[in-house]
């Protein structure tokens, strides 16, 4: 990350959240902007080059403090499934990330008016009066940027005071230390995306190793957090079966699988327009050039490959723990 | 990928022409285009209308990819006199429209914000301005944006006038000419960064593709399928595997049906996991 240049909306130059983030960056050079979309949505941006020199854009969300989940995303049995966007884009650079196809910019937008998000979520809860599942980290990895702004801490504190709200913080980060002073609560789920080291080497640059993710999961479980493990996306790489079996074996050797709240399994799938954009931007990732099958607007592996990959992981989990709660997406 | 250094004023271009080795290639009235091995130079004339016209003209004559740099002098009340600035944002006279060049390297000079006006910048205007002021930058960006991504549209401005000290029409040129090493280094570093990204994101598969075109005579859509399969196989199977599969194809295939059978087999093998 090139931390030298930070774009900041003029209205929030002195916002406490802005000052907090700036205090964590080395020698920031501020470029005031009117609206984050002036930079973020600028035509003709070069996604890959921006990723190689990613910058931070500090902004204030004025509307759309939450969204209803799409059909591709898992609702985990909740009637009301929502996600919010406290940040846009991610510090990691996974080849399969749909954000490459969804946004025209790779820069990292951080919304500093976190209080407004929480206020609006309260309003939603009052309106619905039913349990809501809110995913906090779908278009980013919040735990990985917790050292810049304590989004996770603030939301965990907020959720602890709410009835009818379950929040999910999905991550690949090992920054579990950031959560250590906080008391775990039943309506907070820490969800780790776990991939074999072979997948990390090929397709998840900049992310922590499989070993260190397992170590972070172990710590979280020991501290009493509800933990979900997401084998998602499962990728059809050479020797995938062996790689995923080894990963589950390694996990089971470190952690009692009964202590895991649930396992969520899904193979690579993506909106076909996003995939086309990603294929246009980059020819360096084999996984984008796999032969896919299309269903409606979504592309994924052929049925037999999907089944084979899901079966391998499911069978290996149940081999270690028959009672494991497995959700297949 | 050509690097085109765009100037409004011949006096701004003069020391660059003397430094980089290039020769006059096209000229229409006062608009001149010089071409060299490493850099091209475009001199278009002052004001917001000449550079966009000249950029369109040159892009029509030489359609290949370019990195466009607008280089020249600017006024700056708040900026140090005789200092180069790497421009991070550009706005027009009204301050309502913006362009943000992609800054992808750590610059060896300060960043600056630029405001472009259609008229020469008077002392009064300069005294009220917070940003650097010129007459071409914004129009340059809008024109270049038709042909290049934001990472390939860049601006460097040298502060010739701060509205306090009198602008010396004669002595600035020597100071300006003596200072171009710094911007040249930045231009070179930027080019290397862009070039490395092109290599990283667009692996060269022509070495495999050409023999296949000769032997299998694929249609356009078959070529797309071959390319996608090569991108796939390159990372998952490696060069030796690909070369072995290509070498297995007989060189004397005559029938179209035969060629299609081999093509299908090759695609299956390249896409095999």
As a whole number, the mean pLDDT across chain B is 92
ipTM of the complex, rounded to two decimals: 0.89
**Domain annotation for chain A: domains and CATH numbers:** 3-328 (3.80.30.30)
Q: Domain check: are B221 and B154 in the same one?
A: no
Stronger pLDDT, B137 or B273, i.e. the higher one: B137
State pLDDT tens for residues A200-237. 999 999 999 999 999 999 999 999 999 999 999 999 99
Q: Quote the percentage of chain A above a pLDDT of 90.
A: 91
What's the rounded Cα separation, in Å, for the pair A154 and A176? 15
Local structure of A38: helix, strand or coil? helix
Global pTM exceeds 0.80:
yes
* Together in a domain, B169 and B210: no
pLDDT in tens, A10-63: 999 999 999 999 999 988 999 999 999 999 999 999 899 899 899 999 999 999
Q: Does residue A83 contact residue A73 with C-beta atoms inside 8 Å?
A: yes
Q: Which of B13, B44, B12 is nearest to B143 (CA)?
A: B44
Give the helix, strand, coil percentages of chain B, each rounded to 5.
45, 25, 35
How far apart CA A233 and CA A66 sit, in angstroms, is: 24
- Indicate whether B167 and B213 sit together in one domain: no
Q: Does residue A121 contact residue A65 with C-beta atoms inside 8 Å?
A: yes
The pLDDT of residue A145: 96
Enumerate residues 210 to 239 of chain B having a beta carbon within 8 A of any beta carbon in chain A.
Answer: 228-229, 231-237
Give the confidence band of B56 by pLDDT, cuts at 50, 70, 90: very high
Q: Which of B197, B222, B244 is the last residue of a domain?
A: B197
Is the Cα dihedral A237, A241, A242, A244 positive or negative? positive
Q: Which helix (DSSP H) or strand (DSSP E) does residue A20 occupy? A: helix A16-24
Interface contact B251, partner A, CB < 8 A: no
**CB within 8 Å: B102 and A49:** yes
Tens of pLDDT along B86-128? Answer: 999 999 988 889 999 999 888 989 999 999 988 777 777 676 6
B6 shares its domain with B132: yes
Distance separating alpha carbons of residues B100 and A232, to the nearest angstrom:
36
Tens digits of per-residue pLDDT, A267-319?
A: 999 999 999 999 999 999 999 999 999 999 999 999 999 999 999 999 999 99
pLDDT category at A1 given cuts 50, 70, 90 is low
**Are B238 and B172 contained in the same domain?**
no
From A42-56, B158-172, B192-206, the region with the lowest mean pLDDT: B158-172
Q: In the 8-state DSSP scheme, what is residue A143? A: G
What is the Cα–Cα distance from A169 to A188, expressed in whole angstroms? 8
Chain B from 123 to 152: CB within 8 A of any A CB: 145, 148-152
d(CA A74, CA A79): 11
A50–B104: do the CB atoms touch at under 8 Å? yes
Residue B166: which domain range?
2-197
Q: Which of B147, B171, B197 is the last residue of a domain?
A: B197
Taken as a whole, chain B contains a residue count of: 273
Assess whether B110 and B244 both reside in one domain: no
- Among A235, A248, A239, residue whose Cα is nearest residue A203: A235
- B153 pLDDT more than 90: yes
Is the separation of the CB atoms in A32 and A10 below 8 Å? yes
Question: Is A3's pLDDT higher than 70?
Answer: no
Final residue belonging to a domain, choices B175, B197, B219: B197
Alpha helices (H) in A224-293, listed in sequence order: 240-254, 272-281
Same domain? B121 vs B217? no
User: What average pLDDT does this structure show over A80-91?
Assistant: 95
Burial class (CB in 10 A: 0-12, 13-18, 19+), B41: buried
- B190 plus B59 within the same structural domain: yes
> Tokens 């309106």 correspond to what residue?
A127
Q: What is the mean pLDDT of residues B173-186?
A: 95
Total number of domains in chain B: 2
Residue range B7-34, pLDDT digits in tens: 999 999 999 999 998 999 999 999 999 9
Cβ of residue A48 closer than 8 Å to a chain B Cβ:
yes
């Amino acid at each position: 990350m090139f931390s030298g240049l930070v774009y900041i909306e003029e209205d929030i130059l002195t916002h406490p959240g802005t000052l907090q983030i700036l205090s964590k960056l080395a020698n920031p050079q501020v470029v005031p902007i009117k609206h984050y979309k002036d930079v973020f949505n600028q035509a003709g941006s070069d996604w890959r080059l921006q990723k190689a020199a990613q910058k931070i854009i500090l902004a204030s969300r004025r509307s759309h403090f939450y969204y209803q989940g799409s059909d591709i995303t898992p609702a985990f049995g909740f009637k009301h499934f929502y996600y919010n966007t406290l940040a846009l884009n991610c510090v990691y650079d996974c080849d399969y990330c749909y954000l490459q196809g969804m946004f025209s910019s790779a820069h990292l937008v951080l919304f500093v008016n976190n209080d407004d998000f929480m206020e609006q979520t309260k309003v939603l809860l009052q309106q619905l009066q039913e349990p809501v599942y809110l995913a906090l980290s779908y278009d980013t990895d919040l735990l990985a940027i917790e050292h810049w702004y304590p989004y996770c801490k603030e939301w965990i504190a907020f959720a602890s005071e709410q009835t009818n709200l379950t929040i999910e913080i999905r991550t690949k980060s090992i920054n579990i230390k950031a959560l250590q002073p906080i008391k775990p609560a039943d309506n907070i789920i820490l969800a780790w995306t776990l991939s074999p080291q072979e997948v990390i080497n090929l397709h998840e640059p900049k992310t922590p190793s499989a070993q260190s993710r397992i170590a972070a999961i172990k710590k979280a479980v020991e501290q009493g957090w509800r933990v979900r493990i997401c084998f998602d996306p499962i990728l059809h790489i050479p020797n995938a079966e062996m790689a995923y079996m080894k990963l589950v074996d390694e996990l089971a050797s470190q952690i009692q699988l009964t202590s895991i709240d649930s396992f969520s399994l899904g193979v690579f799938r993506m909106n076909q327009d996003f995939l086309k954009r990603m294929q246009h931007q980059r020819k360096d990732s084999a996984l984008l050039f796999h032969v896919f099958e299309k269903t409606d607007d979504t592309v994924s592996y052929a049925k037999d490959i999907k089944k084979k990959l899901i079966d391998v992981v499911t069978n290996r989990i149940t081999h270690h723990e028959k009672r494991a709660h497995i959700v297949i997406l | 990928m050509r690097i085109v250094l765009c100037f409004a004023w011949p006096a701004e271009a003069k020391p660059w022409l003397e430094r980089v080795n290039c020769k006059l290639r096209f000229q229409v009235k006062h608009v001149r285009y010089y071409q060299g091995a490493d850099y091209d130079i475009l001199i278009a004339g002052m004001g917001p209308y000449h550079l966009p016209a000249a950029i369109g003209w040159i892009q029509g004559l030489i359609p290949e990819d370019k990195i466009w740099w607008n280089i020249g002098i600017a006024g700056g009340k708040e900026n140090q006199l005789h200092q180069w600035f790497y421009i991070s944002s550009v706005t027009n006279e009204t301050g309502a429209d913006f362009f943000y060049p992609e800054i992808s390297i750590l610059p060896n000079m300060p960043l600056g914000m630029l405001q472009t006006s259609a008229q020469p910048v008077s002392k009064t205007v300069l005294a009220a301005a917070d940003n650097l002021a010129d007459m071409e930058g914004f129009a340059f960006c809008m024109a270049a944006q038709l042909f290049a991504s934001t990472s390939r549209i860049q601006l460097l401005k040298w502060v010739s006038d701060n509205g306090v000290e009198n602008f010396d029409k004669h002595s600035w040129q020597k100071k300006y000419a003596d200072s171009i090493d710094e911007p040249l280094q930045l231009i070179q570093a930027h080019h290397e960064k862009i070039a490395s990204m092109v290599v990283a994101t667009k692996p060269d598969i022509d070495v495999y593709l050409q023999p296949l075109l000769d032997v299998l005579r694929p249609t356009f859509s078959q070529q797309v399928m071959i390319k996608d399969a090569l991108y796939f196989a390159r990372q998952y199977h490696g060069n030796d595997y690909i070369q072995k599969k290509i070498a297995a194809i007989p060189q004397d295939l005559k029938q179209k049906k035969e060629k299609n059978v081999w093509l299908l087999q090759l695609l299956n093998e390249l896409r095999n996991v």
